[in-house]
Amino acid sequence: MEMNMSEETKLVQREDFPAGDRKIRILDAKESTSKSGNEMIEWTVEDIETGKQDIIYTVAVQKKRWALKNLLDACGVIVKDGEIYVFELDKLIDRVVIATNKPFEQEFINRKGETKTNLKNKFTNFEKYIPKEGEEEIPF
C-alpha cells in the first residue's frame, strides 16, 4: 500500500476559549469544503492569553460570507472598488484580531450510546486589534 501524506497536518486539539472578547492570533488558514459541499476557509487560531487553540470555519459561498467578510475586515484586508477583497491566506498568518466568543452547550451521543454535553466555541464577531497605550504592537 502506498499513500501520499504530504498534505496531512497536525491535529488541532480544539479547546474551550473563555467567553467574551478574546485577542486571537491566526496560526493557519486554508481553503476547504464543508460536509454539505460549500466552499469555506478553515482558520486555526490561538487565544493569546490562554494559548488554547480552535478552528474557525467561515463559509465562502456568495450571500453567506458575512463571517468571512467580518474576519477579513478585522485583519485589515484591502478592499478595492467598494467590495472586492484582495488577499492571500498565507499573508494573514500571525495576524491578531479581537474575536467575540459566545460558547454554547452542544449535545452528542458518544460511542456507548450515551447522551453527553460539551461546551463549544461560537465566534460571533471579529474586530481589528488596536494595541493599548504602552502595549507592544504585535507585528503583521
Q: Do residues 85 and 62 lie in contact, with contact meaning Cβ atoms separated by under 8 Å?
A: no
Instruction: Specify the pLDDT at position 66.
Output: 93
pLDDT band at 47 (very low <50, low <70, confident <90, very high): very high
Candidates 126, 130, 23; CA nearest to 72 is 126
Question: Is 8 contained in some domain?
Answer: no
Question: Is 84 contained in some domain?
Answer: yes
pLDDT > 90: percent of the chain: 61
Question: Is 13 contained in some domain?
Answer: no
Number of domains in the chain: 1
E strands, 60-95, are: 78-80, 84-86
Instruction: Specify the pLDDT at position 140.
Output: 47
Q: Can you give the CATH number for the domain in which 49 is found?
A: 2.40.50
Q: In what order do the strands lie in the sheet with 96-101?
A: 53-59, 39-47, 20-33, 96-101, 123-128
**pLDDT at position 43 over 90:** yes
Question: Is 3 contained in some domain?
Answer: no
Question: Is 134 contained in some domain?
Answer: no
Question: Is 2 contained in some domain?
Answer: no
pLDDT in tens, 85-114: 999 999 999 999 999 999 999 898 989 999
pLDDT in tens, 1-22: 777 877 766 655 667 888 999 9
Question: Is 15 contained in some domain?
Answer: no
Question: Is 122 contained in some domain?
Answer: yes
**pLDDT at position 74 over 80:** yes
Cα–Cα dist 4/62, whole Å: 33
Its domain, for residue 25, covers 20-128
Half-sphere exposure of 129 toward its Cβ, with a 13 Å CA cutoff? 23
